[in-house]
Structure 1
Amino acid sequence: MRYLCPTLLLRQSGVLLLSFFVFVACEEAVDLDFDVPKRKLVLSSSFYPNEPVVLKVSATRPRGNAPASEIIDAQVSLFEGNELAEVLTYSPGLEHTMPGYYRTLDFTPVEGQQYTIHVSVPGFDPVTAISSIPEPVAINSLAVTNLTRMVEGDQVVYDYFLQIDYADPTSETNYYDLRISQLVIPFKVTAAGDTLRMDPVPKAVTTPRRLAADGESVSILLQDKAEDSVLEVHLQSMIHPRTELFDRIVAELRTVSPEYYFYQRSLVQPGELSGTGLEEPVIYYNNVNSGLGVFAGYNSVQQDFSPVQD
């Protein structure tokens, strides 16, 4: 006759007992004490003087903060100071490609005024955000130094330093988004041997450390500058000489609100903040009260320069 160890018997009984209680528990409702985050409205708007205010409205998913489907039944009001400027009108987007948006039809903002956006949607907490358009700052000069030309396969690479001087006011803190792009002139040779030039189109300008997508500009966020200093940026332009001519370098100096600056700065990937040692996840800046996103004004001036004569 074989005997079971008492300890083993207890363990086996325990398993059977546990299985019994699990089976019984499945027959009863179980209250799980989990907090489901309330959905929040998400706003996105960068507005410019004398142009309509355009605002995109979406919402977070029930769990997490990822944007979900757009909101088409919002009540959106824009105030200039304490006065109602206009109730924004919804414009449907292109199906499956671009979301719809809300916009002003008659009112355009101006620099130096404070603007408040109010958004309410059934089932959501109403949200507000405040921003303004700063005064523009002029570009004093553009210059190119150390221009070299290299042939790489079927491309010509122009390597150079772009020097930008701008009239930064010294009596106040200013924020900037300097955007640098380039234009090329596509052309083709006809059967008769004539060169047919087309209208200039944007093409990526890059830095030696960072490649850019077609048409993408270099964006540099700045806060003031030292008096009498000149900003210098190392750039590269790539041209297909059989189909393109180098046209112009375009510098757009955006004078931006603090909301614009800190939101765009929060979008910069940690690897792009060289020398900062930043390794923690980025926390996106948000100026929407009771919601998420950004509502921010900016101003802009442009100047172009032709460093290459083909």
Structure 2
Amino acid sequence: MSIFRQILPFGFLVFLCMGATCERTVDLDIDEPPPRLVVNSSFTLGEVVKVSVAKSQSILDNSLPEYLADANVTLYKGDKFIEKLTLYVDPAPRIAPYYTTQSFTPEAATTYTIRVEALGFETIEAHSFIPEPVSLSTLQVSNFNEQEGSGPFYMRYSYQIDLNFEDPIEEDNYYHLNIFQEILSVTIVGADTLIDGRYLKRIDLMQDNPKVISDAMIGGLLLKNNPSEEGFRFQVDLEIVPDFEALGQIYVELRTVSEEYYLYYSTFSRQQNQSDGPFNDPIVIFNNVENGHGYFAGYNFTQDSVSLSF
């Protein structure tokens, strides 16, 4: 097993220290394998393909990830060359540099291959595709309630969301469910309320179903097939300051994801959500990158929205 860790958000390998009845120092003479390339890419319909490329690090190395600016990243449709990706460095320092296609956007039900070459590293490849989308069959909001919030200027709002979708039964399907509440920035001028802006607040989704995995990377729920014939019910509670904010629509995004996407996000989430303890089985994060680490995974999505009934 490699003693190198992958670059965030790829997670960390589990390092288990075992105690003994007598304390003593043990020197381990272990040759560290050479570093490998780490690839991070989720791609979808109608958007350019973005790929971050970094260098793997030892699990004992707590320094910042080392992203590579001199890699050769190419994209293929089957065996057909499509495009060499171009490095993009975002002016925002918290956003890691990545390689991107310029105009090409992928199609559904088509397998794509990413190939990355860099001096001093083995060439790596990874394959994935974008599944066909699945739409919501039910989406409704009920039991809206408002009451005083935790502070003098706050109001607390609660409501119930019920939703469901028709899962094709011919084969296993994988999903990532996300729900957002639109928050409007408002200015009250006399009897008028002016909307100055908006943002989407992610709703924390809680489920007791053991077949449902809470995603620890970006939020939402990870599903294999539809584990609930009756659908899903979520209770939402949130606070806003009505003098400056108002509730807009509720947006639901149902991602239909590739198996690679589901396995990477679910194993990463299970590792992050696992309680500490010496008797827990180690969880190995899924990797579909040949000769490297990370993931290259496609997904599709459908969106729907519903207004709150006050």
When the two structures are superposed, what TM-score results if normalisation uses the length of structure 2? 0.78
Query: Of residues 74, 87, 92 in structure 2, which corresponds to 1:90?
Result: 87
Q: Which amino acid aligns with 1:132?
A: F
* Alignment match, 2:304: 303
Task: Tell me: CA distance 1:208–1:293, structure 2 relative to 1, closer, same or farther (3 Å).
Answer: closer
Q: Which amino acid aligns with 1:112?
A: A
Matching of residues 48-67 of structure 1 within 5 Å:
48-61=44-57
Partners of 2:205 and 2:241 in 1: CA distance: 18
Which structure 2 segments of 5+ residues have no match?
Answer: 1-27, 208-216
* Alignment match, 1:3: none
Q: Which is richer in helix?
A: 1
Q: Deviations over 1:218-277 (max 9, x none)?
A: 501111125853222232232222211111111000000011111111222558579xxx
Which structure 1 segments of 5+ residues have no match?
Answer: 1-31, 210-215
Matching of residues 94-243 of structure 1 within 5 Å:
94=91, 96-153=93-150, 154-190=153-189, 194-206=192-204, 218-225=219-226, 228-243=229-244
Partners of 2:79 and 2:61 in 1: CA distance: 31
Partners of 1:113 and 1:219 in 2: CA distance: 26
Partners of 2:58 and 2:265 in 1: CA distance: 26
Task: Tell me: CA distance 1:65–1:52, structure 2 relative to 1, closer, same or farther (3 Å).
Answer: farther
Task: Tell me: CA distance 1:65–1:306, structure 2 relative to 1, closer, same or farther (3 Å).
Answer: farther
Q: Give aligned pairs, total.
A: 268
Q: Which amino acid aligns with 2:127?
A: I
Q: Say whether 1:78 aligns with 2:75.
A: yes
Partners of 2:231 and 2:271 in 1: CA distance: 26
Bigger radius of gyration among the two = 1
RMSD: 2.7
Q: Deviations over 1:31-53 (max 9, x none)?
A: x9540221010000000112111
Does structure 2 retain, via aligned residues, the 8 Å contact 1:48–1:299? yes
* Alignment match, 1:29: none
Does structure 1 retain, via aligned residues, the 8 Å contact 2:206–2:234? no
Q: Deviations over 1:83-116 (max 9, x none)?
A: 1111111122326332221111132110011111
Task: Tell me: CA distance 1:85–1:64, structure 2 relative to 1, closer, same or farther (3 Å).
Answer: farther
Partners of 1:39 and 1:100 in 2: CA distance: 19
Answer with 160-169 or 245-254: which moved more. 160-169
Answer with 245-254 or 148-157: which moved more. 148-157
